Amino acid sequence: MQATPALTTLVEFRYRRGFDAASGKHGGTSNKSGRSGTDLTIAVPVGTLVYRTAEGKPETLIADLASPGDRILAAKGGRGGLGNQHFATSVRQAPRFAEKGEPGERCALRLELKLLADCGIIGVPNAGKSTLLSVVSAARPKIADYPFTTVEPQLGVVRVSEEESFVLVDVPGLIEGAHHGAGLGDRFLRHVERTRVLVHLLDGGKPLDEMLHDKETIESELVAWNPALAEKPVLLCVSKLDLPDARARLAELRQRFASIAGISAAAGDGVDDLVYAIARAVAAAPAPPRAEPIARIDLVPRDGFSVERRQDGMFVVSGERVERLAAMTNFESDEGLARFERTLDRIGVERRLRELGAREGDTVRIGAYEFTYS
């Protein structure tokens, strides 16, 4: 998987869930190796977290593709099988068996996108976040006079000068209980984690007590989602100064808070000053940390195996080495089957089956193959 700025959503994976790389080709006569299969590279948006899932095991984060060009090997192809010449000895100069190719790795992944933006605009629904984004950037979010107009985060590039710019994200309106998923807040709050700075918009068209309640609600939801969000720089700003009494509300709030700005995105009043303040705050703030991938831990050692006796009497042998051996053995060849049995005996599978009470006629499963024990 490779991160690319050309994609901004994971919507493609809603309609396509399966991806298969091409298989390698068979070997030929005169010691000719088969051609290797080509790699399959799946493009994902920058900021994608890749989780590996497996039934009965905890989910594991294997990559945080936070920069353009970041790559992760999610599933490894199998090696080609060895030809009969590899098994030749001084006694047996022309063995009549060869290995099959090793099966490629298969896995289930869960993808989660956390948008990468320098600054996030937060606030309750209809506080003027989308209007601000549309004024300072080329983004064109839907704007209307009813709550929850914006249903997904919107990104825009804000140009400060010819050499300086920053990325602004409009986070859809947050409400009380957002950290529990109210108003789809759990989908939106994750994008705030990636930002360096936050702009908290207060609706200047509301009474003072409602504005203070909105401020407290948003701050509580951020901390409840992730306590580290409380450490981010926040620029407090009153919007809609063109409405009656909005400037009076701003004056009252300035008596309570040391630093608070005011803007009218519709009239352009105070917008430039806010943009410059954001740019300074972004330049001074550290980059958000990457998520630390967790090394995948196999329950069975790579060269080990386990044998389980099920209630129905079947014996199930598990382990990367023995399952790979079964998959690469040509059971239509007597010599190939004999090599398979010798290998199981050498690594201790036969002994373990006997210790667990395996008897003539019992069924033994290794990977996708079932055998009758004898």
Q: What is the pLDDT of residues 349-369, one digit of tens each?
A: 999 999 999 999 999 999 889
The enclosing domain of 304 has a CATH number of 3.30.300.350
End-to-end Cα spacing for the chain: 45
**Count of domains observed in the chain:** 3
What integer best gives the mean pLDDT of the chain?
83
Q: In 3-state terms, what secondary structure has residue 97?
A: coil
**Cα 22 to Cα 26: distance, rounded to the nearest angstrom:** 13
Q: Are residues 270 and 157 in the same domain?
A: yes
- In terms of domains, do 19 and 45 share one? yes
Q: Domain check: are 221 and 368 in the same one?
A: no
Q: 262 with 364, same domain?
A: no
Its domain, for residue 367, covers 299-374
pLDDT of residue 41 exceeding 90, the answer is yes
CA dihedral 66, 113, 235, 121 (to 10 degrees): 140
Amino acid identity at 243:
L
> What is the number of H-type helices and E-type strands within the chain?
9, 15
Are 343 and 215 in a shared domain?
no
Q: Are residues 125 and 251 in the same domain?
A: yes
Residues 151, 272, single domain; the answer is yes
Same domain, yes or no, for 2 and 90?
A: yes
| Residue 293: inside a domain | no
Are 241 and 304 in a shared domain?
Answer: no
| pLDDT digit string, tens, across residues 184-201 | 445 567 778 878 899 999
Which CATH number belongs to the domain containing residue 28 in this structure?
2.70.210.12
User: Residues 56-106: pLDDT tens digits?
Assistant: 778 888 888 988 899 999 888 888 777 777 777 777 777 777 778 888 888
Check whether residue 263 and residue 313 sit in a common domain: no
Q: Is residue 81 part of a domain?
A: yes
